[in-house]
Amino acid sequence: MGLNRKHPTSRFQNTPDSLRETHIPEMVLSLVVLVGTGTAMLWGRLDASAGLTIDLLTAVFAAGVAVLKHHFTKTAKALCEREETIRHPGLLITDRLAALDGELLSHARAALRHACEEIDEIGRGRVPLDPREYYRTLRVALESSRRGTNMYAVSSIDALRWREDRNQVLWLECNIAAVKRGVLIHRVFILKKDQMASSEGQVIMRLIEDQIRKNIQVHAIWLEDILHEDPRLRDDFVLFPEAERAFVDHHDPEEPMRIVSAELILSPNPLLGEYATAFEAKLKDYWLAPSDLAISMVTEGTQLKLLAETKSQ
């Protein structure tokens, strides 16, 4: 059986909340001084100007004490509530562990270690996301972006996802709506040369042209050109530089429409700076404009066709 501890109640639960109750001592002091000076003036022992001065100074003093008391009470209450918020889950975990033994306790401790490691990663700015909630979280981030802010995106996913994956279709619609609001979206597609030389290449070109018509800035990069570079350059990520956050997803190479894992990168994690540098500097050296991509597709297709004919001879 567990220890059955009750949730600790707030140490400030009996503290009066209204100003009248909280500041009764100051109110009593002011009232006593006011009555005293009034009585003294009535008996002729105190002139009116001196009485008013005393009343005014007392009121200022009482008001100052009230303001300081309110500030310190509010601060202390916030600190205690934070302490209780943190301590209560700890007590719950202790209770649960106390109720276990043997193999169950071993598994529970392993789960707790994993949870602690995950919390440490969160503290370093890497927040794991449920793959099923990834697109929803991403859309919320873009919908909250203000006019004039930027969104940088690097995509190496299969073109089928842009046409057949419902989440990806909704994401593109969200992009188009954001551009209309004044958000600046710049996307880079990482493409394979053999892929673009096949029938799928025409599908990808139409996809790129459609996004350009919707005022999304689009460039392309040959995967083969950056294989020797930092692997970070090949990550699928969406960066919001002004908001200091990036979303990273890893999809199943066998099932392009299935996200295996995803995470949110926040400050102070250095990955934010690395992704910004990758997009604004390193990847820029390999950008192809859509017109260059079309020419390159023809060239690569011809070369691949000649290579295939040579091998068959």
Of all residues in the chain, the percent with pLDDT exceeding 90 is: 25
Answer for the pair 137, 41: CB distance below 8 angstroms, yes or no.
Answer: no
How deeply is 208 buried, as exposed, middle or buried, from its count of CB atoms within 10 A (0-12, 13-18, 19+)?
buried
Read off the pLDDT of residues 45-90 as tens digits, 9 standing for 90 and up. Answer: 666 676 667 666 666 666 666 667 776 777 767 766 666 666 666 6
Mean pLDDT of the chain: 77
Interval 152-164 mean pLDDT: 80
Q: How far apart are CA 154 and CA 249, in angstroms?
A: 11
Q: Note the pLDDT of residue 6.
A: 44
Strands 150-155 vs 236-240: parallel, antiparallel or unpaired: antiparallel
Read off the pLDDT of residues 91-141 as tens digits, 9 standing for 90 and up. Answer: 677 778 788 888 888 888 888 888 888 888 999 999 999 998 999 999 999
Higher pLDDT, 237 or 4: 237
At 192, the amino acid letter reads: K
pTM greater than the 0.75 cutoff: no
The least confident of 32-46, 258-272, 283-297 is 32-46
Higher pLDDT, 251 or 38: 251
Higher pLDDT, 244 or 199: 244
The least confident of 8-22, 114-128, 182-196 is 8-22
Question: How confident is residue 176, by pLDDT bands cut at 50, 70 and 90?
Answer: very high
Interval 257-284 mean pLDDT: 87
The DSSP symbol for 244 reads T
Q: Note the pLDDT of residue 23.
A: 59
Q: Note the pLDDT of residue 230.
A: 76
How deeply is 171 buried, as exposed, middle or buried, from its count of CB atoms within 10 A (0-12, 13-18, 19+)?
buried
